[in-house]
Structure 1
Amino acid sequence: MFKVLFKCLLFLSLPFWAVAQATSVVFLNPGNSTETFWVSYSQFMQAAARDLGMDLQILYGERNPQNSLDQARELFQRAQKPDYLMLVNEQYVAPQILRMSQGTGVKLFIVNSPLTEDQRALINQSRSSYSDWIGSMVGNDEEAGYRMLNELLLKHGPVPEGQSIDLLAFSGVKVTPAAQLREQGLRRALAEHPQVRLRQMVYGEWNRQRAHEQARQLLQRYPQTQLVWSANDEMALGAMQAARELGRKPGGDLLFSGLNSSPEALRALIDGQLSVLMAGHFTIGGWALVALHDDALGLDPRRLGGPDWQLPLFQSLTRAQAQQLLRLGDQAGARVDFHGLSAQGKPDGYRYPFGLQLLLR
């Protein structure tokens, strides 16, 4: 009797998180398992999951949307299904995964690349069929694309009256909403700056080697090019390599912009070869876990600005900020108190303060 009582008291003395089953999340990462951006994205998520006491599994799609669909199908058939599935609408896979999820009880949350307007309209017609789709969290991709061109022009300086300046642009995968939104931002900036001539936009598919090959051709076709806009850092780095091979000087007679915060891109910004670098959205997965943690607690996302969050995450890095991110490396998530960001116990009107400022302190 004493032993039974002792065990009961011992059980009751354990903290709640040690007794309760951890909230389980599977993330379908669309990138390659060796791809700098998506690996850093996963590392930030893992730091968040540890701090929040969540069970996180990450499955890489290796840039093949069929892999993501097969992974989703397999987990919906598991005897022990996860509480949540996080996915990216890369190459338009989200509607099919939403359809597969019906009746499984797994809650779905979309990050980074949202549903397109057409997809959302179709799904909203039968939203009751997708009651387990609980929300989304994305960055301000359109604004990032817009600001990259504007900041390139600031670095270049005024264009004399009556003259023009040539621009090349490298977008990502054509059927990825994030790439489309960044393109929209570029075109908004172009409409405000008629002195800039977009000579050609190509789809580098986020790939350095592909952008390198494209840039070798384009820079010879348009030798007067002075500005290069790229929807990610890998394509910018590939185009910069091509420029150097053709005798051009990145950061000198040819100005480049990029997006993301790989170590190589950060170093290129620090040494002046990359003129503009937007970053911040590698954190979305970690922030999304905070929202899922609070959903599991029963907190109403509408009280917190959700269930569909568009966050102003992108910012143009200074050289000092690039140096700080470079020093943090894969330990960036260790600087963040994710549990302290939870809305649990916070007053009405609380909004998640997500952003790079939580790392760059």
Structure 2
Amino acid sequence: MSPDIVVVGAGVIGAACAEALSASGLKVTVLDRAGIAGGTTAAGEGNVLVSDKAPGPELELARASRRRWPDLLAALREELGPTLAEAEWEAKGGLVVATTEEAAAPLAHFAAAQRAVGISADELTPEAAAQLEPHLTRGVTAAVHYPEDAQLQPVLAATTLLAAVRARGGEVRAGTAARGVTRDAAGRVSGVRTDDGTLACRAVVNACGPWAGSFAARAGAPITVLPRRGMILVTGPLPAGTVRRKVYDADYVGAVASSDADLQTSTVVESTRAGTVLIGSSRERVGFDETVRVDVLRELARKAVALFPVLAGVPVMRAYGGFRPYAPDHLPVIGADPRLPGLWHATGHEGAGIGLAAATGRLLADLYTGAVPEVDPEPFRVDRPAVIEGERAA
């Protein structure tokens, strides 16, 4: 029996869409040209953040996702059992710090704007920040604590979501590349072309991450979603409590919002349940160039040691990079494509996909089924100029 809908992409965004659609009673098949969660999701840190988003549509999507993630994971544990539904959810909070006098006032202003729309953003003295993070540099000039920030293990989250899809009668096919779509006599999507033949369906969701632009073009409805590369360092295991939460320098917010194609680095330090510490972050638009640049890794390490001097001399276990799906106006693309009935998109989340996934899946499923969405879908529509005509803005 053919599925109702095919989701192309088995990363966390595709998995969240597939889970939400299957929870709505639809039969879903997920396709991925490689393996489950093997692309952008595997290269993520697992951030579920509100701290790095200015008031506006993305912050509203982030708030909805932050509310949804713990409830969704708890429900899936009940449905699937703890073995299949473990995503290492940690509601540990985040700490944003300024390390220069010039950065202190902008950080306070940003936090005040967030508080005005209901975000918990508690300004701290440097002494109070040191109590939260004893190994933090004493060069802090200002700090803001975000108790709502959280973390999960992104690959485990994606596999949990896909396990639910399978349990509800859906299918997940790894190693199956989607080559485009077929259309019926009325011009609607009627199937997905793969190397194994055409898979009939009523609709297809383009959740291909940084490759979403390529798939959309093959489907005949191009969108502008570009790869933006990032690198991460992973230390060896450290004693518990060395780094207690996600900590980043205030310049990280500016790097996230920047449209600059050139290399940008900002200091992000975060512990994991395994005891390792993740060090980021970098951003640059270099296409799909996978070259490991030692100068970028050296800069990340230097900045991390400046923020947490205790990291000096700590061995680096590995380094890895990944490509994030970047839309020129820095907003995700979520919803139906008006140019091709039956084609839907869920992409463009850049480095926030892990955190935004739960709400993205729910929003897309609500739009598909005609339910009233929790989040206003208008800012994420496909036919906005930056996405349809984005090459000029990129």
TM-score normalized with structure 2 length: 0.23
Which structure features the higher share of helix residues? 1
The structure number with the bigger radius of gyration is 1
Between the two structures, name the one with larger relative contact order (CA 8 Å, sep ≥ 6): 2
Point out the structure with the larger strand share.
2
Taking structure 1 as the reference length, the TM-score comes to 0.25
